[in-house]
């Protein structure tokens, strides 16, 4: 009987025996041949290879070597055919047709069919409804109205959002129809799972029948670590050929001659949320003053050691979706002070904190600043302290509270905060409406703009890419004008390696290991 992802089970723990013993004692290159790669990542909780189950960020990059999607996104952030050889839509983009490549098989030899795609989507939607953590592909619920297979190679989807960006939503991994709930299902990718010991290691072997050709690297072995310190030690002592990490310690290896440091773009957008409902922040002049007072480039250098990419709007910098408006986002403390003066906030008693008479009483410009921290990473606290110092320089005092992620999320939802340093995982679909539309899921600032809502309605009914881009630019322009919150940067990870194993120009989650199979 097949065990499913909905079943709670216990597996006897296996040891690594001779293979790992040799690997950890011998320098890289002697423990294995030149056509294999030993990789180190952080993995503490992942128990299954099934990519539909929520897992750790770096673990998803391993899964991308085993499982593939209908559509992939290229270095220019444009959708390209993958398991689907092509797609088309009707005139108003309400119905889409995806045509599968002929001759693709899963690792067990089963042919890929449209029914596999249909059942994968239905499983993703059922996970969304039945678990607290719906996983990385839950946004499909906003796009898929109905999905069917008209024949073995044709998937027909009617969608709730009739726009040209729909193919970006089709980047989920496709599983065999009979294994969508299996713990370790087979995939169609360049590697299959040879052996998997949760919290210890996984061995991936080349899929000799891969539809793109025989992979250049025969074996990928990933060893799992519990802390970034252990991970870095494994790399320093040649126990692994490469590591994938978001630790700031990777910055010290930038510019070395005996290894390669490859930047990996994450989907994690760091923001400074501002509660637009409190009296201090319901004035756009105060919110803009906060934006002008923050030196983002200094934060990147001092707090993140440049392991982040500045982003003035929610869109990905350097892509066709991003509107670059540096004149509106430059660090300008004098402009910040002028805006605060204009809003009536002055330092009447010279104590360094601005104040204002409100309803006949003197009020100080003091803000409650929430910060939550990541495991094994104190960088957000450091960034919050630097932001607080920058704001104090223009007369705004912050009282920082370090809280758990759960507490921060609850207080954001209840709008029991003034400022909060918070990160969001942005969807591959270029549509930040969940942050900016009135009363939407992650609009924690209570920002409400009829003009903004109308722009998103127009965006989601646009059938031409150029029109889509123009509307995105209008959204970003209005975002700059209304300043509901401050965008800071997209976090970056790094691959430290002793060999260059990919020619991909834009490495990003969840395909950080993209290019291993194709080689150089």
Task: State pLDDT tens for residues 248-257.
Answer: 887 777 766 6
The region, left, alpha or beta by phi > 0 then psi within -120 to 50, assigned to residue 224 is beta
Phi, psi (5° rounding) for residue 91? Answer: -60, -40
pLDDT of res. 27: 38
Residues with Cβ < 8 Å from 252, sequence gap 6 or more?
Answer: none
Nearest to 388 by CA among 457, 460, 294: 294
H or E element, residue 123: helix 114-130
Please answer whether residues 371 and 381 qualify as being in contact, where contact means their C-beta atoms are separated by less than 8 angstroms: yes
CA distance 87 to 222: 35
pLDDT of res. 31: 40
Average pLDDT per run of 10 along the chain, which is 520 residues long? 35 38 38 76 93 87 96 93 97 95 97 98 82 73 94 96 93 97 96 96 97 95 93 93 87 74 91 97 98 96 89 95 93 98 96 94 96 76 95 98 94 97 94 96 96 97 95 98 97 88 84 83
Whether cis (ω within 30° of 0) applies to the bond prior to 440 is no
The radius of gyration of the chain's CA atoms, rounded to the nearest angstrom, is 25
pLDDT of res. 139: 85
The DSSP string of 426-449 is --SSS--HHHHSTT-TT-TT----
H or E element, residue 19: helix 17-25
Q: Which domains does the chain have, with CATH numbers?
A: 33-66+189-241+499-520 (3.40.190.10), 68-178 (3.90.76.10), 266-492 (3.10.105.10)
- Provide the H-helix boundaries in 355-464: 379-392, 405-414, 433-436, 450-459
Please answer whether residues 254 and 261 qualify as being in contact, where contact means their C-beta atoms are separated by less than 8 angstroms: yes
Dump strand ranges (E) for 251-358: 260-274, 308-310, 355-358
pLDDT of res. 501: 79
Please answer whether residues 89 and 95 qualify as being in contact, where contact means their C-beta atoms are separated by less than 8 angstroms: yes
For residue 236, CA distances in Å to 27, 474, 501 come to: 10, 48, 19
pLDDT of res. 509: 87
CA distance 479 to 420: 18
Structure tokens at 437: 């539309």
What SS3 state is found at 324?
coil
Structure tokens at 99: 């045509």
pLDDT of res. 14: 37
Structure tokens at 57: 């960020």
């Amino acid at each position: 009987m097949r065990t499913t992802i909905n079943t709670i089970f216990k597996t006897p723990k296996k040891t690594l025996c001779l293979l790992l013993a040799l690997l950890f004692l011998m320098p890289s290159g002697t423990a294995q041949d030149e056509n294999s790669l030993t990789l180190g990542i952080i993995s503490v909780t992942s128990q299954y290879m099934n990519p539909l189950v929520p897992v750790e960020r770096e673990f998803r990059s391993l899964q991308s070597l085993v499982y593939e999607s209908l559509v992939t996104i290229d270095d220019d952030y444009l959708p390209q055919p993958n398991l689907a050889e092509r797609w088309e839509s009707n005139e108003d983009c309400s119905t889409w047709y995806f045509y599968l490549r002929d001759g693709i098989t899963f690792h067990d030899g089963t042919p890929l069919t449209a029914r596999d795609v249909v059942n994968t989507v239905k499983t993703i939607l059922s996970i969304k409804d039945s678990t607290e953590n719906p996983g990385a592909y839950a946004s499909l619920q906003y796009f898929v109205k109905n999905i069917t297979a008209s024949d073995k190679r044709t998937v027909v989807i009617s969608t709730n959002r009739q726009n040209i960006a729909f193919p970006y939503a089709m980047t989920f991994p496709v599983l065999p129809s009979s294994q969508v709930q299996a713990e370790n299902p087979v995939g169609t990718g360049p590697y299959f799972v040879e052996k998997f010991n949760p919290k210890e290691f996984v061995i991936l072997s080349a899929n000799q029948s891969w539809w793109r050709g025989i992979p250049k690297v025969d074996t990928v072995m990933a060893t799992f670590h519990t802390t970034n310190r252990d991970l870095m030690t494994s790399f320093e002592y040649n126990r692994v050929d490469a590591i994938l990490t978001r630790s700031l310690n990777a910055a010290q290896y930038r510019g070395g001659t005996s290894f390669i440091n490859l930047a990996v773009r994450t989907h994690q957008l760091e923001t400074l949320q501002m509660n637009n409902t409190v009296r201090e922040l319901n004035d756009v002049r105060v919110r803009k003053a906060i934006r002008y007072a923050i030196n983002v480039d200094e934060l990147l250098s001092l707090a993140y050691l440049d392991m982040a990419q500045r982003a003035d709007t929610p869109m990905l910098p350097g892509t066709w979706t991003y509107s670059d408006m540096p004149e509106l986002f430059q660090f300008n403390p004098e402009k910040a002070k002028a805006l605060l003066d204009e809003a009536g906030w002055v330092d009447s008693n010279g104590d360094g904190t601005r104040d204002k008479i409100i309803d006949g009483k003197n009020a100080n410009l003091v803000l409650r600043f929430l910060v939550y921290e990541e495991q094994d990473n104190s960088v957000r606290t450091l960034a919050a302290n630097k932001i607080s110092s920058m704001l104090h320089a223009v007369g705004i005092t912050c009282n920082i509270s370090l809280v758990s992620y759960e507490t921060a999320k609850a207080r954001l939802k209840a709008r029991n905060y003034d400022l909060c340093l918070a990160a969001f995982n942005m969807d591959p679909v270029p549509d930040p409406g969940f942050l900016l539309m009135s009363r939407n899921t992650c609009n924690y600032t209570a920002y409400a703009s009829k003009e903004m809502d109308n722009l998103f309605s127009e965006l989601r009914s646009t059938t031409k890419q150029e029109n889509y881009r123009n509307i995105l630019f209008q959204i970003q322009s209005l975002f700059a004008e209304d300043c509901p919150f401050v965008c800071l940067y997209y976090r970056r990870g790094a691959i430290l390696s002793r060999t260059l194993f990919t020619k991909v120009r834009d490495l990003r989650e969840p395909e950080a290991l993209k290019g291993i199979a194709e080689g150089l």
